[in-house]
Amino acid sequence: MIGELIAGRYELHELVGSGGMSNVFRAHDRLLERSVAIKVLHEQFSADEDYVERFRREARSVAQLAHPNIVTVIDRGQEDGRQYIVFEYVEGENLKGLLSHGALPVDEALRYGLQIAGALDFAHKRGLVHRDVKPQNVLLTEEGEPKVTDFGIARSVDVQSVTQSGTVLGTSDYIAPEQARGEQVDQRTDIYSLGVMLYELLTGEVPYSGDNFVAVAMQHLHDPVPSVLDQRRDLPVRLDLAVQRTMAKAPADRFESMEELIGELERCFGELGSEEAATRIVRPPRRPRAKRPRPKVPVVPILLIMLAIAAVAGGAYLLSGGSPNVPVVADNNPSGPIALVAAGAYDPDGDGAEHDSEIAEATDGDPTTDWRTESYDDFTKPGVGLVLRAPEQVALSKLTVRADPGFEAKVRAGNSPSGPFKDVSKEQEVGTITTFDLDTKGERYTYYVVWLRLPSTGGQAHIYEVTART
């Protein structure tokens, strides 16, 4: 088709994209003397009257999307039975090409996220859902400004996004669970896909990978949402939780609208560089607790890791000439957020258990689930604790607890999950979000305990999420 003249006006110069349903060309508009992009549907789809009518309707709708971060529709028509749409031509690479160089700086990633979210919010408020949000559909101008394209109009897809039978399913790296199941989609589907994009902008890689469409789609359906902090520890916890919320498996657990997501991303952006940004957590609307299946724990690798830790601890013991519980003086202590894992309850003056089956809820990255103590009619013992394990011996400087108010707590530390522990913070009243300033006197510990004391009249404590930093 190169060299053809469409509508007596658009001269096709170069094929710039091809997919299962259309080809995209760079063309020269002879009338206005400018470059344009023209998408031409494959002939077999142009013969379907129902499809053509939907195509026309969507083209008219998208033509109304006058937004600086949306590629403009210029013209639509047909030539020899072939449907086509003409767009502004954006000179530059797409966002996927930019990501080939790796993760972006946090502020740059947030700027792109906010601009793309703004474009999608503009479309959503006019009744359009994109359904194929991905970096390949975000073009970058020569000035680096993003422009979203392909708003559900005869979406071009990559070869790997087509099944063997030829049915177009979408791009699995960014597909929302409900989309993978073939269910109805809405604006929250775009929120999920944008969340995947944010994860990729911040880490340089997609959250799930596999050899084929089905393998990746199944991970979107069933695998836990990964934490950005696992890949990049310099990020604020609040931003990590925002990304995880966009990628919640159930649409009802995501942000309700793109506008709500924009508000949270703006707050994350505004807090960059602030001292408390890395540990500040926002409490979302409380939703009913859903029982989630616990992932199977690979026993052999964990045993190998434990043996390695034991060998290192044994070496430290021999070098120190004392007990392995002797704290290690901090040296080259890592700086930034530390991902803690809830390791168990600590109840030395009771039955030793405090809803142990819910321990993982305190550090699962989901601020709508919680670990709770037993319910007491009166509280007479010295306290009960939530034991948290650091990935390595580390001297924490701050520990933040998100909880329901109504109890007092302090932080203790040690190098065994069963103690002994020493106080590393003052006791204080716990509110919705409480940050404890820790003083380890330069010593590093593997285990930290939120040691809490309920009022003498009893009650029950709920801890939703615990985060920390050095």
* CA dist., res. 107 & res. 98, Å (int): 15
Token digits for 412? 């203790």
Q: 3-class SS at 195?
A: helix
Percent of all residues in the chain with a pLDDT value above 90, rounded to a whole number: 41
- Cα dihedral 66, 72, 74, 76, rounded to 10, equals -100
Look up the CATH number of domain 299-469. Answer: 2.60.120.260
Q: Is residue 85 within 8 Å of 72, Cβ to Cβ?
A: no
Residues 5-88, CATH architecture: 2-Layer Sandwich (3.30)
In the predicted model, what is the mean pLDDT of residues 58-77? 84
- Cα dihedral 220, 224, 230, 236, rounded to 10, equals 90
* CA dist., res. 112 & res. 138, Å (int): 10
Q: What is the pTM of this model?
A: 0.56
In the predicted model, what is the mean pLDDT of residues 415-437? 91
Q: What is the pLDDT of residue 208?
A: 93
* CA dist., res. 16 & res. 152, Å (int): 19
Angle at which helices 106-124 and 258-270 cross, to 10°? 160
Residue 410: φ, ψ to 5°: -145, 170
Give the number of residues written for the chain: 470
Q: What is the pLDDT of residue 165?
A: 31
CA distances from 21 to 13, 96, 97, 158 (A): 20, 21, 23, 10
Query: Over 90: is that where the pLDDT of 395 sits?
Result: yes
Q: Using the 8-state DSSP alphabet, how is residue 249 labeled?
A: S
Which range has highest mean pLDDT (12-21, 194-203, 231-240, 298-307)? 194-203
Residue boundaries of the structural domains of the chain: 5-88, 95-270, 299-469
Residue with tokens 């394990």: 389
Tens digit of each residue's pLDDT (9 = 90 or more) over 166-176: 333 456 899 99
Q: What is the pLDDT of residue 152?
A: 57
Q: What is the pLDDT of residue 239?
A: 93
Residue with tokens 């924490």: 396
213: nearest Cα among 260, 148, 253, 168: 168
Q: How far is CA 242 from the centre of its chain?
A: 7
Residue 337 exposed, middle or buried by CB count within 10 Å (0-12, 13-18, 19+): buried
* CA dist., res. 66 & res. 87, Å (int): 12
Q: Is 142 a catalytic residue?
A: yes
136: nearest Cα among 149, 145, 123: 149
Task: Say which of 142, 178, 408, 429 is annotated catalytic.
Answer: 142
Judge whether 5-88 and 299-469 match in fold. Answer: no
Q: Is residue 51 within 8 Å of 58, Cβ to Cβ?
A: no
Q: Is residue 386 within 8 Å of 445, Cβ to Cβ?
A: no
95-270 to CATH, choices 1.10.510.10, 3.40.190.10, 3.30.70.20, 2.60.40.3470:
1.10.510.10
Residue with tokens 């991970």: 219
Q: Give the number of C-alpha atoms closer than 13 A to the C-alpha of residue 360, restricted to the C-beta side.
A: 8
Tens digit of each residue's pLDDT (9 = 90 or more) over 95-136: 999 998 899 999 999 999 999 999 999 999 988 888 889 999
* CA dist., res. 154 & res. 54, Å (int): 10
* CA dist., res. 355 & res. 385, Å (int): 12
Q: What is the pLDDT of residue 278?
A: 42
Q: What is the pLDDT of residue 16?
A: 84
Which amino acid, one-letter code, is at 251? P
Beta bridge partners of 24: 17, 39
In the predicted model, what is the mean pLDDT of residues 308-312? 40
* CA dist., res. 259 & res. 446, Å (int): 41
Tens digit of each residue's pLDDT (9 = 90 or more) over 244-285: 999 999 999 999 999 999 999 999 998 886 544 444 444 344
Which amino acid, one-letter code, is at 450? V
Query: Over 80: is that where the pLDDT of 17 sits?
Result: no
262: nearest Cα among 201, 194, 199, 206: 194
DSSP one-letter string for 176-241 = -HHHHTT----HHHHHHHHHHHHHHHHHSS-S---SSHHHHHHHHHHSPPPPGGGT-TTS-HHHHH
* CA dist., res. 469 & res. 394, Å (int): 10
